[in-house]
Structure 1
Amino acid sequence: MNPPCARCKKIVYPTEKVNCLDKYWHKACFQCETCKMTLNMKNYKGYDKKPYCNAHYPKSSFTAVADTPENLRLKKQSKLQSQVQYKEDFEKNKGKGFSAVASTPELERIKKNQEIVSNIKYHEEFERSKGTSAASAERRNSQEYRPQPERNPGYQQQAPSQQEPPSQVYNPPAATSYAPPSTGKRFRAVYDYSAADDDEISFQDGDLIVDVQQIDEGWMYGTVERTGDTGMLPANYVEAV
């Protein structure tokens, strides 16, 4: 007998059945409990036998600490130290730009690969332009030099008006250099998203997001190609191209 859906309570037939969290769901009913986004077996997270998306997965709560005089003093001291450290870091990094992505082993590996690809592309273009310049110079020299035929005693020089016009020297165009292509990851938005903070970006379903870098399991950093906006975005709203 076909079981009922855990959300709409209607019968779930085998062709549209999702068996997850010890329950049965229609594919369209397997949604996030908070934002109602349709989920699948790859991007859902279960909590209390209910499905959630990565952005709305319930966070673990911590035990509250009583506000004793000692705890209040430590809290105030920590706050002062944080402000002092923040001011020192701000003064130290002033004028060096802003980077929202922390330096991780994965980002270091991507940066190293980009440098290697850039060096290889530069050497290829250099060798290609050097070969083109050498061939152009050889062709130019062969055109400039033309052996004169031997004259016999009975040869009469033609009048100036009947002489052949001087040959023109061929100047080949300079070799064009090409910039190495971007090696950043490319993703396509599968849902609309509106930025909830100043360091986030908004995009629409189908937008192409380039130069994407993974920050953690739930967030990325990239640029929307349509608008040119750069910032953070939720990882479960996009898919790799």
Structure 2
Amino acid sequence: MNPLCSKCNLVVYPTEKINCLDKYWHTKCFRCEVCNMSLNMKNYKGFEKRPYCNAHYPRANFTCVADTPENIRLKQQSKMQSQVLYKEDFEKNRGKSFTVVTDTPELQRLKKSQDQVSNIKYHEEFEKSKTSHLHEEVERSKTQHQQPAAFQPSAASQNYHYDPVPEPVRPAAAAPPPSAGQKRYRAVYDYAAADEDEVSFMDGDVIVDVQQIDEGWMYGRVERTGQQGMLPANYVEAI
């Protein structure tokens, strides 16, 4: 069924139909409401679902336009930019130097690559440290297990043919772990452990006995829970 013209209320046939402002118009009926100037889709301006020319367009504080896909896209983009600026100002107020941006596929790929590089570097440093401690323990054990010098009897006791029996050597105790540092840090973000050797904490928790592993990771103990493990260095700040 053909719709009616919003101007003359007559039937609008497809060959002369204009669909604009949520209404249907004859081509000849699509005119300015004030000066009756003939309009088209390029030079009209809509106000309260009525067409106007540029000269007689009502000047209001806000312009009501149709919600086209382009307008919806621009609105969503403006909202995203507003959120980004808000987060950026929020982080600046907290004294952070980095800028919060939206997650794009490219940024997610770079973040994943950085995490992999950081994990590889951490594991290399961790293995080197463990190998160094093991080597020190072995050397210490060898030193403590060396046999004492043979007993040389005096000239007076040589007539008795006394052959002293060496005392049994007790095995050396395991070397104590290296003493932890006394640095204290405060968490500025929540963090959930992603591996068995990591530790979880919440914003505001105090981290004690901190040891620096590399530029991106630390080792410490959460004072609130008593748990200890690795933690990212950019999630805490020194007290």
- The normalised TM-score by structure 1 is 0.33
- The normalised TM-score by structure 2 is 0.33
**Between Structure 1 and Structure 2, whose CA radius of gyration is higher?**
2
